[in-house]
C-alpha cells in the first residue's frame, strides 16, 4: 500500500510508493528513442488484456468492452501511485503525519495509433480525449474520499513518460495538492481585494496588450504567461469565467480541442517535437463553482534542467521572455 | 539587464535573463561525458583571466590575486542570472509586478583539480570551501539590497551543471525566495504552538528513532527526511540550534566538512557517482538569530525525472522510502 507523508515544516505531502519501481519502461534511463515497440505495448489495440479492465472508452457501435475497436480508452494504471481500495487511516508519529495512499490513478490512451503524438491527431480525436477527461473527473468526483483530481500528460522520456504510446494520466488525491492550494489562496486574496477573478483580469490584460498572446479562438486563449518558469511555457484558458473544467459543456470541447491542437502543433514545429508536460488545474472536487478560481491548462516544453537554484528557492531562471516566445509561436505556420 | 517578474496568482518570482542563453557549456544537451576538457576550462589554474577578478581566494603565502597557487577561489559568474550594479526600480504594469534583476551571482571553485568531485577532496579542502561560503555570505549580507543568500551546487549535466570542473554557486536575491519563505512560515507556526524549533524536534526524533539516521558525528547529523521528495534525499543539520550558517564559528567547519565528505561519499558509492544538487537553506540576511528557524543542507541525487504530476501538484512520488535509503547508506563503507 502506498503511503502519504507530510513534511512537518512546509506541509508538502509526498507519496512513498515502493512498488512503482518495478513498472515497465519503453525508455532506458535518459536515452531516446524507446527501447521497445508496439509489439509489447500495453496501450495498442489487441493488447487490451495487458491493462486492468477499462473504466471508459469511446468505441465503434457494437464493439465489446476490453476488445479492440476503440478510439479513446481509459484504464486504471497497472502500477498506481495511489490505491483505490481502502480507508485513509490518518495517523501521527511524533511530529510527523501520515495516511494510507488512497486515490485513483488512471491512464487515458489517446488513440489506437502507437506512433501519433497528441497534436498529430485530428481535432475530433482530441475532442474525444477532452471528453474522456471530463467524464472521468465527473465520475470520480462522487467518491467523497477524494479532494482533488489532476489530469496531466508527460510526453517523451525527458518529461517523465515511461511508455511511448500517447497517453495522459489522471490522479485523484485525498489532499488538495500544495501547488493548487497556493493558486486557490492567491486567487482568493485577489478576489477579496478587487471582487474579480485574477485569471479573468489576466486574460483581459493579455487580450488588450497582445504581446504575450499566442492565439485567441473559439472562446479560449493561448498565452505565454507574464512570469513563465520555463522557455515557451504556454497556458490555455477559457475567456469566460469557469472554475471547473468538468463543468464545461460537452459542446465547448470542440473549440478547445482545435486550440489545443493548434498550440501543441506550434510548439512541436517551433521546438522540433519537444518533450513536454501539460497539467490541467481545475477547482477542487467539492468547490466546483468558485468565483475566484478559473481552470486552465499549463504546457511546459522540457528544454532545460531544473537545477539547485530552482529547487532551493522556487525562483526560476528563464532565458526566453514570454514576449519573445509568444511572438515566435504566433509567427509559426499553424 | 535581467528582470524579476512576479506571478500574479501564487506570487512566485522568476528571473528573465536572456543573456544566459549564450553561456559556455561543457555538456551537449543531456549527454555525458563532457564535450570539452581542462584546456578550455575557465576554472583551471593558469586560466584565472578567463573569469571576472576573484572576490575571495585561499592561496599560498606570497601568491598574487588572480594568479595560480590557490586552493579555493570565488569569482563573479561571467553569465550572471542577476546583476550586481543598479537599483531595483520596482514597477507595476496592470496586474503584473516587476523589478530589475539586481543581485549577486558567484561561483565557488572548489579546488584547482579539474577532475575531482567535492567528495573526493580532503576534509581540509572541503573545510576551505565551507569557509568560503561563510565568508561570502557574511560579506554580501552587508549589501542592504539583498534579502537572501542561497548557496547551491549542481553536480553533473542532468543536475543542471554547465561546466565539469567542481564548483558551487551563490546567488543573493532582493526577495526572500518562496521556498524559503514557506519554511520560515511553517517553522514559525510550529514555534508559536510549541515554543520549539521544528528542526530541533526533527533532529531529536530522528536521533531517538534511528531508522532514518545516516550518521551522527561532531555536532551534526545526516538524515533521510521523513517525507523525501526524491530517492536518497539526504539532509545535514547542526544538532544545536543555529538559524544561520554564517553565524557558525569557523572552528565548527572542520566537523561539518568531515560529515559532508562522508555523506557525499556514501551517496557516490551507493548510486555510482550520481548527478546531484545540494542547497544550503539559512535564515534571511536581516534575521540571522531566529529562534524558530534552523539552517540545513539538502542533498538530492538526480535519479528520476520530475514529471507532470509533480509540477501540477507539488506532490512528489518517491519509490524509495527514507528508512530504506538511510539503512542502505548506513551500511555503505565510509
Per-residue pLDDT reduced to its tens digit, B163-219: 899 999 999 999 999 999 999 999 999 999 999 999 999 999 999 999 999 999 999
Question: Where residue B229 falls among pLDDT bands split at 50, 70, 90?
Answer: very high
**Rounded to the nearest 5 degrees, what angle is found at the Cα of A10, between the Cα atoms of A7 and A13?**
45
Q: Which residue of B has its CA nearest to A6?
A: B227
Put simply, the answer to whether A14 touches B316 (Cβ < 8 Å) is yes
Distance (Å, rounded) from C-alpha B4 to C-alpha B150?
17
Looking at residue B161, what is its pLDDT? 82
- A305 vs A318: CA distance, rounded Å: 11
CB atoms within 10 A of CB A195: 9
Q: Name the residue facing A198 among B8, B21, B202 (closest C-beta).
A: B8
Supply the pLDDT for residue B33.
58
Q: Which of A49-63, A253-267, B34-48 is predicted most confidently?
A: A253-267
Task: Return the CATH class of domain B3-176.
Answer: alpha beta
* C-alpha cell at position B127: 573545510
pLDDT number for residue B31: 45
* Cα torsion angle, A323, A327, A328, A334, sign: positive
Choosing among A3, A6, A15, A16, which should be mutated to test the B contact, i.e. which has the most B CBs within 10 A? A16
Contacts of A311 in chain B (CB under 8 A): 152, 179, 277, 279, 298, 300
Interchain CB distance below 8 Å, A277 and B177: no
Instruction: Quote the DSSP letter at residue A18.
Output: G
Q: Which helix (H) or strand (E) holds A165?
A: none
Interface probe, candidates B118, B312, B326, B328, chain A, greatest A C-beta count within 10 A: B312
Query: Who among B201, B305, B311 is closest to A158 (CB)?
Result: B305
Residue B218, min C-alpha distance to chain A (Å): 25
Does residue A281 contact residue A298 with C-beta atoms inside 8 Å?
yes
- pLDDT greater at residue A143 or residue A24: A143
Q: What mean pLDDT do residues B130-142 have?
A: 97
Picking from B17, B281, B315, the nearest residue to A173 by CB comes out as B315
Helix (H) or strand (E) holding A138: helix A123-140
Phi, psi (5° rounding) for residue A176? -75, 120
Same topology for domains B3-176 and B179-331, yes or no? yes
DSSP state of A143: -
From chain A, pick out residues whose CB is under 8 angstroms from the CB of B311: 152, 179, 277, 279, 298, 300
Which one is catalytic: A105, A167, A242, A292? Answer: A167
pLDDT for A52 equals 96
**Which residue from B minimizes the CA distance to A198?**
B9
pLDDT of residue B32 exceeding 60, the answer is no
> Could you tell me the CATH superfamily of domain A179-331?
HIT-like (3.30.428.10)
CATH code of A3-177, in short, is: 3.30.428.10
| Interface A:B, Cβ pairs < 8 A | 266
With beta carbons under 8 A apart, name residues in chain A contacting B13: 227, 315
CA-wise closest residue to B313 among A224, A152, A83, A77: A152
Q: Residue B334: pLDDT above 70?
A: no
Answer positive or negative: Cα dihedral of A252, A257, A262, A263: positive
Chain B residues with CB under 8 Å of A18 CB are 319-321, 324
**Is A305 close to B281, i.e. CB distance below 8 A?**
no
Chain B nearest CA to A20, separation (Å)? 6
Which pTM was predicted?
0.91
Which residue in the set A10, A15, A160 is minimally distant from B186, CB to CB?
A10
Backbone dihedral region for residue B272 (phi beyond 0: left; psi -120 to 50: alpha; all else: beta): left
Mean pLDDT for A210-239 is: 97
Cα–Cα distance, B18 to B20 (Å, whole number):
5
Grid coordinates given for A126: 482530441
Closest by Cα among A297, A318, A292 to A307: A318
Residue of B nearest to A191 (CA): B9
Which residues of chain A make contact with B159, given a CB cutoff of 8 A? 305, 307-308
Q: How close does chain B come to A277, measured CA to CA in Å? A: 5
DSSP assignment of A232-294 = T-EEEEESS--S-GGGS-GGGHHHHHHHHHHHHHHHHHHHTS--EEEEEE---TT-TT-SS--
Residue A164's DSSP bridge partners are none
Interchain pair B279, A173: CB under 8 A: no
For B17, the closest of A150, A227, A317 (CB atoms) is: A317
Write out the catalytic residue numbers of B. 167
A34 to A141, B32, B132, B307: CA distances (angstroms): 35, 19, 45, 17
Say what the pLDDT of residue B79 is. 87
Q: Which of A313, A314, A327 to mutate to test the interface with B (most CBs of B within 10 A)?
A: A313
Q: What is the pLDDT of residues A18-77, one digit of tens each?
A: 877 666 666 555 445 566 678 889 999 999 999 999 999 999 888 899 999 999 999 999
ipTM above 0.85 for this complex: yes
Residue B26 — pLDDT band, cuts 50, 70, 90? low
**Over pLDDT 90: what percentage of chain B?**
79
**What DSSP state is assigned to residue A81?**
S
Tell me whether residue A332 is exposed, middle or buried, using C-beta atoms within 10 angstroms of its C-beta: 0 to 12, 13 to 18, 19 or more.
middle
DSSP state of A10: T
Q: What is the 3-state secondary structure (H, E, C) of chain B?
A: CCEEEECCCCCCEEEECHHHHHCCCCCCCCCCCCCCCHHHCCCCCCCHHHCCCCCEEEECCCCCCCCCCEEEEEEECCCCCCECCCCCCCEEECCEEEEECECEEEEEECCCCCCCCHHHCCHHHHHHHHHHHHHHHHHHCCCCCCCEEEEEEEECHHHCCCCCCCEEEEEEECCCCHHHHHHHHHHHHHHHHHCCCHHHHHHHHHHHHCCCEEEEECCEEEECCCCCCCCCCEEEEECCCCCCHHHCCHHHHHHHHHHHHHHHHHHHHHCCCCCEEEEEECCCCCCCCCCCCCCEEEEEECCCCCCHHHHHHCCEEECCCHHHHHHHHHHCCC
Q: What is the pLDDT of residue A31?
A: 45
Report the residue from A30, A182, A226 with minimal CB separation from B30.
Answer: A30
Per-domain residue ranges for chain A? Answer: 3-177, 179-331
Give B-chain residues touching A81 at CB under 8 angstroms. 309, 317
Pick B270 or B26 by higher pLDDT: B270
User: In the beta sheet, which residues pair with residue A155?
Assistant: A276
How far off is chain A from B186, nearest CA to CA, in Å? 5
Q: Over chain B, what is the mean pLDDT?
A: 92
Kindly list the residues from chain A whose CB atom is less than 8 angstroms away from the CB atom of residue B148.
313
CB–CB of B14 and A319 under 8 A? Answer: no
Contacts B77 to A, Cβ<8 Å: none
Q: CA A111, CA A162: separation in Å to the nearest integer?
A: 17
Instruction: Check pLDDT > 80 for residue A92.
Output: yes
Span B273-292, mean pLDDT? 93
* pLDDT tens figures, A111-124: 999 999 999 999 99
Give yes or no for residue B68 having a pLDDT over 80.
yes
pLDDT for B234 equals: 98
Rounded to a whole number of angstroms, the distance from the CA of A311 to the nearest CA of chain B is 8
Give the span between the Cα atoms of A147 and A133, in whole angstroms.
Answer: 17
The CA distance from A203 to A220, in Å, is 10
Closest Cα in chain A, distance from residue B173 (Å): 10
d(CA A34, CA A114): 12
Amino acid at each position: 500500500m502506498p503511503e502519504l507523508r507530510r513534511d512537518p515544516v512546509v506541509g508538502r505531502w509526498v507519496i512513498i510508493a515502493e512498488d512503482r519501481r518495478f513498472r515497465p519502461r519503453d525508455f532506458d534511463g535518459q536515452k531516446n528513442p524507446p527501447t521497445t515497440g508496439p509489439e509489447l505495448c500495453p496501450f495498442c489495440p489487441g493488447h487490451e488484456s495487458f491493462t486492468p479492465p477499462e473504466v471508459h472508452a469511446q468505441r465503434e457501435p457494437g464493439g465489446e468492452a476490453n476488445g479492440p475497436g476503440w478510439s479513446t480508452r481509459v484504464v486504471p494504471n497497472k502500477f498506481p501511485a495511489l490505491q483505490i481500495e481502502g480507508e485513509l487511516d490518518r495517523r501521527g508519529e511524533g511530529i510527523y503525519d501520515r495516511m494510507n495512499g488512497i486515490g485513483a490513478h488512471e491512464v487515458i490512451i489517446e488513440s489506437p495509433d502507437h506512433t501519433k503524438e497528441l497534436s498529430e491527431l485530428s481535432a475530433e480525436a482530441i475532442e474525444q480525449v477532452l471528453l474522456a477527461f471530463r467524464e472521468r473527473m465527473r465520475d470520480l468526483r462522487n467518491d467523497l474520499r477524494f479532494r482533488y483530481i489532476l489530469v496531466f500528460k508527460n510526453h517523451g522520456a525527458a518529461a517523465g513518460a515511461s511508455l511511448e504510446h500517447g497517453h495522459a494520466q489522471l490522479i485523484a488525491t485525498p489532499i488538495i495538492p500544495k501547488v493548487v492550494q497556493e493558486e486557490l489562496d492567491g486567487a482568493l486574496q485577489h478576489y477579496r481585494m478587487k471582487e474579480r477573478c485574477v485569471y479573468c483580469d489576466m486574460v483581459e490584460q493579455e487580450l488588450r496588450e497582445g504581446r504575450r498572446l499566442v492565439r485567441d479562438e473559439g472562446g479560449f486563449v493561448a498565452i505565454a504567461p507574464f512570469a513563465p518558469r520555463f522557455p515557451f511555457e504556454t497556458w490555455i484558458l477559457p475567456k469566460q469565467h469557469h472554475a471547473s473544467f468538468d463543468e464545461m459543456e460537452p459542446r465547448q470541447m470542440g473549440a478547445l480541442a482545435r486550440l489545443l491542437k493548434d498550440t501543441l502543433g506550434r510548439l512541436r514545429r517551433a521546438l522540433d517535437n519537444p518533450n513536454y508536460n501539460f497539467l490541467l488545474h481545475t477547482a477542487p472536487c467539492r468547490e466546483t463553482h468558485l468565483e475566484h478560481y478559473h481552470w486552465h491548462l499549463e504546457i511546459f516544453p522540457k528544454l532545460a534542467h531544473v537545477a539547485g537554484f530552482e529547487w532551493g528557492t522556487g525562483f526560476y531562471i528563464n532565458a526566453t521572455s514570454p514576449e519573445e516566445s509568444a511572438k515566435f509561436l504566433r509567427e509559426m505556420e499553424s
